[in-house]
Amino acid sequence: MTMLAEQVGGVIGVDTHRDTLAAAAVSPIGAALATTDAPANARGYRRLLDFARQHVPGRRCWALEGVGSYGAGLAAFLDQAGEQVVEVLRPKRPAVRGGRKTDMIDAIRAAKEALASEHLIQPRLRGEREALRVLLVTRHGAVLASTAAINQFKGLIVSAPDDLRAELRKLKRPAQIARCAQLRDRPTQDIEHRMTVRALRSTAQRVQALQAEAKDLESEILALVRQMAPELLELQGIGPITAAQVLVSWSHPGRFRSEAAFASFAGVSPIPASSGLTNRHRINRSGDRQLNRALHTITLIRMRLDPATKTYVARRISEGKTSRDAQRCLKRAVCRQLFKILERSDRTTRISSEQLDAI
């Protein structure tokens, strides 16, 4: 595999922060040519581009840290300027104290890491993919807040005065929330009863608002998914939220060199753990855990509803695998199917019983 050092005349490493950007020009052999810093705004982006053109006038590559956060603006600017950009991970803390640490050292390290890497990381796209991501994050926050409010609401019912608790416990949760959202405190009641009614009403109205917010965001997500990859929604077990998470993690065609790399990124590729006469694999607990969670949801639904999936799981169990091992094999198969569809969106692929038998 061709290394980056053989393709470019230099690498510009950038250590990104909220207000400042530290950059270093590094030659293909790892020598630092020059360093500079700039503010994290449009004027600073242009200054860094002029710096790169001066010290690496030929073909060059940018190695950025924090492309999804502090480096997002610079990455978008460089992409519009036609520059090649790769992403490098944040450095780990040194194992012992006394290690040198400055922004310029981190910028040089980012450039050297890109030069030494065999598999470069392409930054995720913005545009529609970023729109999906922010909607998913916001909806997730609304769902978490709704769950916390519901738990608080249940606690208030448990400790409510006897007559109020007896009235509410006869109802199911949606009816409880609707009833408490319309409660009115009466002056004839004691202060404990009145304040409990106010707390229940406030909490119930908060739950309703958060649930309505999550529902509206899900509608926006569904519209974007239908626009970007409607074929995903045709697959069994995939709804708008799981489809959106798959699209956000995948980003764009060509970002992953193979479906095996995508499976490793999703945390569904088995890791060899053999020794001596023992030949086994262990579960992969790394990768994008949100993508792994989406694949887990898809497999659970298919194991419950899809006849071909039920047959596949039964065959795997008859071969000596546990139910969880069979589910992990199924997650790997689903990951392969999704990757093929996303890379070639003009063709819809389905997992049939014959495909499962071939795995």
Whether residue 6 contacts residue 103, with contact meaning beta carbons closer than 8 Å, is answered with no
Tell me if the pTM is above 0.75. yes
Residues facing residue 32 across a β-bridge: 26
Which SS3 state, helix, strand or coil, does residue 86 take?
strand
What are the residues whose beta carbons fall under 8 Å from the beta carbon of 181, sequence distance 6 or more?
201, 204, 205, 208
Provide the pLDDT for residue 358: 45
Is residue 237 within 8 A of residue 301, CB to CB? The reply is yes
> Is the pLDDT at 92 greater than 80, yes or no?
no
Intra-chain end-to-end CA distance of the chain, in Å: 28
CA 59 – CA 53 distance, rounded (Å):
9
Please report which confidence band the pLDDT of residue 1 belongs to, taking 50, 70 and 90 as the band edges: low
pLDDT exceeds cutoff 70 at 282:
yes
Confidence tier at 237 by pLDDT (50, 70, 90): very high
Residue 4's pLDDT is 85
Write down the pLDDT at residue 5: 81
pLDDT of residue 281: 74
Question: What band does 47 get if pLDDT is binned at 50, 70 and 90?
Answer: very high
Phi first, then psi: what are they for 86, rounded to 5°?
A: -125, 160
Task: Write out pLDDT tens, residues 309-332.
Answer: 999 999 999 998 888 889 989 999
pLDDT on residue 7:
87
10 Å CB burial of residue 88 (0-12, 13-18, 19+) is buried
DSSP 161: -
| 215: nearest Cα among 249, 241, 237 | 241
